[in-house]
Amino acid sequence: MAAGEGPVVAISGYYGFDNLGDEAVLYSLLEALREVCPTVRPVVLSHAPERTSALYGVEAVNRWRVGEVYRALTRADLLLSGGGSLLQDVTGLKSLVYYLGVVWLARRLGKPVVFYAQGIGPVKSKTGRLLMRLVANDVQLITVRDENSARDLAEMGVTRPPVEVTADPVLGLDPARADREKGMEILERMGILEPPVSSDQGDKLPDQGDNSRPLDKGGTVPGEGGAVYGTPAPVVGVSVREWPGFGEKQQRDLARVCDDLCRRGYRVLFIPLQYPEDLTVSRQVAAMMRERAAVLDRGLTVGEAVSLVACLELLIGMRLHSLILAAVMGVLPVGISYDPKIDRFLEQLGLQPAGQAAGLEYGALSRAVEGVLADPAGFRASLARMVGPLRERARATARLAGALMEVGGRKSEVRTID
């Protein structure tokens, strides 16, 4: 390494798959690293290296080509594994083996490794738990995004490296970075800000036959939240995904809640966070509504997503990072859980999910939405109090990783972030 060059940091995660949540993690991670060490030279292991390189101004290599990964690790000063929910076997053992395999290779090459704000588990198989114990006990530092992840590691016998509980990297984003004008442009292109056409003026879908109490007609005055964010009417974002058990009944109950919101003067926009995978189910739920809603029919960059979410009043989300972005931007979050990571994040905010995706019910979701809309200003103030410490913990992850960066045998120049 030439004198004066910064440390080479290899980054392994679920990058290049057009999953907006993981792309937001990478965006936030890179921003935090550059703030701590301006001379850092990231090398991202990506499914789509050319796109990753163009989006973030970094070097990227193909994560599936062993030779490229080997060469990247050989010249790296440090490997960051994360963030995200990499170390789990719910989606299959192959994924866990891949990410642990990259860590194992880095350690065989004598490189220090940091688990960067990982969300651990679930790891249910005996093989997976054994691999976790063998590989994770050999890394230099583990940072996890919640207390439950630290407990999961301890239960699997991971005890040797120090474990620091920090927070998801996306929580470290500065909300001032949001470009609300850009968000407004997206809303305008979608036609979401046009006056709504009530179902009373047109054809109606058949009644769903549920006598549960609809959303209270009181609470937020329509347009009040929109005025805060510069929109002529408040906009509700909805982020859903395919999941076993989240079927027609559950989707219809969600659609009914969205209809209730429309009748109170809100606009509803479905936002597929993983595009195009989330597009089909988003369209299905929108088609079940009696009122007009819009479905975003293209992928977003991280910057666009941040700017769009910043213009919302409320976000009903299944995707973890839809809820995290909402919390960071001061947008009212209502979570629908399909995985423990949703419950864990909401717990950090002092909240509970409105229900499980497979058992979602109209009444419970309606009450959860009404609960946040009854006093939006008070809810936002409480949200800000909870997010503030999480933001500082997220930024601390980069400082901890920075302490392990070495250049030519010397510690790299690392800035302290107050």
The domain in which residue 150 lies consists of 8-165
Note whether residue 396 is domain-resident: no
Of 200-204, 241-245, 264-268, 364-368, which gets the smallest average pLDDT? 200-204
For residues 105 and 190, state if they share a domain: no
For residues 292 and 161, state if they share a domain: no
Task: Determine the average pLDDT of the residues in 335-342.
Answer: 97
Rounded Cα distance, 158 and 63, in Å: 26
Distances (CA, A) of 25 to 150, 161, 170, 187, 195: 20, 23, 5, 24, 36
pLDDT above 50 (res 119): yes
Residue 5, pLDDT score = 82
Residue 209 corresponds to which amino acid?
G
For residues 358 and 335, state if they share a domain: yes
Note whether residue 418 is domain-resident: no
Cα 349 from chain centroid (whole Å):
15
Note whether residue 234 is domain-resident: yes
For residues 40 and 159, state if they share a domain: yes
Residue at a domain's end among 145, 165, 185 = 165
Start-to-end Cα distance in the chain: 30
CB 55 within 8 A of CB 301: yes
- What rounded mean pLDDT belongs to the chain? 89
Considering its fold, how many domains does the chain have in total? Answer: 2
Rounded Cα distance, 242 and 307, in Å: 25
For residues 161 and 196, state if they share a domain: no
For residues 122 and 181, state if they share a domain: no
Residue 230, pLDDT score = 54
Taking each helix axis from N to C terminus, what angle separates 340-348 and 147-155, rounded to the nearest 10 degrees?
130
For residues 233 and 356, state if they share a domain: yes
Main-chain dihedrals φ then ψ at residue 41, nearest 5 degrees: -120, 90
In sequence order, the 6+-apart residues with CB closer than 8 A to the CB of 187 are 193, 231, 235, 269, 308, 311
Note whether residue 410 is domain-resident: no
Which regions of 323-397 does DSSP assign to beta strands (E)?
332-337, 355-356
For residues 207 and 284, state if they share a domain: yes
For residues 92 and 128, state if they share a domain: yes
CATH number at 222 reads: 3.40.50.2000
Q: Is the pTM of this model over 0.75?
A: yes
Task: Determine the average pLDDT of the residues in 139-152.
Answer: 97
pLDDT tens by residue, 192-230: 887 655 554 333 333 333 434 455 544 343 434 443 445
Rounded Cα distance, 80 and 51, in Å: 20
In this structure, what token pair is assigned to residue 59?
């070097």
Note whether residue 414 is domain-resident: no
Rounded Cα distance, 84 and 401, in Å: 16
pLDDT tens by residue, 16-26: 999 999 999 99
Residue at a domain's end among 111, 143, 165 = 165
